[in-house]
Structure 1
Amino acid sequence: MATSSAVGSFDKADMDLWLQMPGTWVEAPNLRRGGESGVQRVSTSEHQLYYRKQQVEHLYYDWRHPFGYPTAMREYNALLQARKLGVRVPRVVYAGCRKQNKRWLALLVTEALHGYTSLEDCYAQGEHERWGEPLHCEILRRYGSSLARLNAGRWQHGCLYLKHVFIRVDRRGIDIALIDMEKARQRISAKRAARHDLRQVKRRSSWTESQWQAFLQGYRSVFSTAVPE
């Protein structure tokens, strides 16, 4: 007999209802952690767009879950905590898991970030050249301050590629959102969270020195203690 645990919902929809909705793969199921995990784009009858992360026996282990628990549930908690810290992330509309035939099944559904584009895609499409240097640096400052809010709360993103940083630039101004927080976790200190994420950001970007300093300027405007580099 299956057991279940739903920790969030949208219109009281359960896991089976969400799974029945047709979708298209944006991240094909990958095999790791002893199971599989993938992401589909789903459009409801109301033409609302969501992303559905589906997992089978895709587990993490810690002192609270020595026998393993779905990573989607860890991501759900990280998304909630990030929002409390003032960091824009996709809004969760459903999160749940259950054990069936002795295997964990998990589902995490989030709203699409309308009007946002990843930094990776912006660079690939040459958007940074159209921005000009002043706007480009301001975007990086906003990215820095957004990440600093997360780290100041002792939360470490843990997987900061440019494809995980989404931006929106329009008449309302500049907005930054972070996605894919499956590896996020809270550290014992803000400095440890900062040190890990800043090293990833620097290693995975190809910014000029002035652009890196713009990012750090935004970061330092929020992070109250000395920034580890």
Structure 2
Amino acid sequence: MTEYIDGKYLGLLRHHHLHTFDALWSVALEEVDAPNKGRGGWSTVSRLTLADERGTDKDFFVKRQCNYLCRPWRHPLGEPTFSREFRNIKLYDTFGLPTVEVAYFAWRKSPEGPRAILVTRALERYRPLHRFFASWRELDPGDQKTILEETGSLIGRLHACRLSHHCLYPKHVFIALGQPVPVRLIDLEKAGPQWFPKREALSEMSRFLRRIGAWSSEERRLLFRYYLIKNPIFPSVDRFCDLLALRGAGVSGRRIPGRWSAFRNMTGRA
């Protein structure tokens, strides 16, 4: 069995008799979402609240799965998706990229297939980026600028490390204004290296932008500016916008007027 326990949480888990695989597997918890069923198995997410020795509650997410596998090239026969997510979280930690904090991870074989558990700290005081969109115009201009700056900078840092999230949507970017670490990335199950940095950076950014309707052209260009400070793979914001617009046209090197105009509005390119 592969097992990891963060020493910072070992005492808390042991105090509640939840420091072993069997205990975490069998504890009854309410699921926060409907179970994912597929890949020949299942996967669930539940919330767990534990009081420390001072009586202060600490919230965690407990993710459990059975025979829910991915098949990366290093594991052609399959491995639990949580195993890949755990590995990516630790990799992001190595690069100083803010994400969730792992308290416990383990997986082991069973007659039904590999079982895996991943326990992470809940991101208290954080909100997913898309929750800001409905009231974006009511936000303080300074807070708007902070969100754009920190989001663009973090995605730029990610790509400068030659890594991609591979599923980057606003719901995967968590914001906590006024915190020492104002932006974090979550759900790293599909994250991986970049083999073609420019192409993959454009793909990730264009996918991310399509889910954002609240930002003006000027705000999008500000996001690009902070991105390029951390990952200067394009010579200017204008060039970045042009390349994003070409991707939006769907045909390499050819601009289709109607779709070009729509994507030009999205990126803020004049």
Which residue type is aligned with residue 158 of structure 1? Answer: H
Choose the corresponding residue for 2:21, options 15, 37, 43: 15
Q: Which contiguous aligned blocks of 4+ residues in structure 1 show a shift greater than 6 angstroms? A: none
* Aligned counterpart, 1:208: 216
**Partner in structure 2 of residue 198 of structure 1:** 205
Unpaired segments ≥5 residues, structure 2: 235-239, 245-270
Q: What is the rounded CA distance, in whole Å, between the counterparts of 2:98 and 2:181 in structure 1?
A: 12
Deviation at 1:89, TM superposition (A): 0.6
Separation in structure 2 between the aligned mates of residue 63 and residue 174 of structure 1, nearest angstrom? 34
The answer to whether the 8 Å contact 1:22/1:42 transfers is no
Which structure 1 residue ranges, 5 or more long, are not aligned?
A: none
SS for the counterpart of 2:177 is strand
1:111 maps to 2:121: yes
Name the structure where strand makes up a greater proportion of residues: 1
For residues 174 and 133 of structure 1, what CA distance do their matches in structure 2 show?
Answer: 19
Classify the secondary structure of the residue corresponding to 2:168.
coil
Report what 1:161 is aligned to: 169
User: Does the 8 Å contact 2:170/2:212 carry over to 1?
Assistant: yes
Q: Does 1:52 align with 2:62?
A: yes
Asked whether the equivalents of residues 100 and 120 of structure 2 are also in contact (C-alpha less than 8 Å), the reply is yes
- Which letter maps to 1:143? T
Does the alignment pair 1:223 with 2:231? yes
Q: Distance in 1 between matches of 2:140 and 2:69?
A: 44
> Following the alignment from structure 2 to structure 1, what is the Cα–Cα distance between the partners of residues 23 and 148?
40
Between the aligned partners of 1:86 and 1:193, the Cα distance in structure 2 is: 21
Aligned positions, number: 223
CA distance in 1, matches of 2:82, 2:186: 13
- The residue identity in structure 1 corresponding to 2:156 is A
Instruction: Give the distance between the partners of 2:23 and 2:3, measured in 1 at CA.
Output: 13
Q: Read off the aligned partner of 1:122 and give its amino acid letter.
A: F
Deviation of residue 202 (structure 1)?
1.4
User: How far, CA to CA, are the matches of 1:192 and 1:78 in structure 2?
Assistant: 21
1:37-48 paired onto structure 2 within 5 Å: 37-46=43-52, 47-48=57-58
Query: Greater helix percent: which structure?
Result: 2
Distance in 1, matches of 2:78 and 2:199, equals: 25
Range moving further from structure 2, 41-50 or 104-113? 41-50
Distance 1:20 1:198, change over 3 A: same
CA offsets, 1:7-57, max 9 Å, x none? 445417222222344432222211122322221111124221101111111
Give the Cα–Cα distance (whole angstroms) in 2 for the partners of residues 57 and 122 of structure 1: 36
Work out which of the residue numbers 19, 33, 44 in structure 2 matches 1:27: 33
Q: Which amino acid aligns with 2:183?
A: I
Aligned to 2:249: none
The answer on whether the counterparts of 1:153 and 1:190 sit within 8 Å (CA) in structure 2 is no
Greater displacement, 21-30 / 218-227: 21-30
Could you tell me how far 1:211 is from its partner in structure 2? Answer: 1.7
Residue 63 of structure 2: SS of its match in structure 1? strand
Q: Which residue of 2 aligns with 1:186?
A: 193
Residues of 1 paired with 2:68 and 2:199: CA distance?
A: 26
Residue in structure 2 matching 1:36, options 39, 42, 46:
42
TM-score by length of 1: 0.88
Larger radius of gyration: 2
Is the contact made by 2:41 and 2:66 (CA closer than 8 Å) also made in structure 1?
A: yes
Is the alpha carbon distance of 1:158 and 1:14 closer, same or farther for their aligned partners in structure 2, counting shifts above 3 Å?
Answer: same
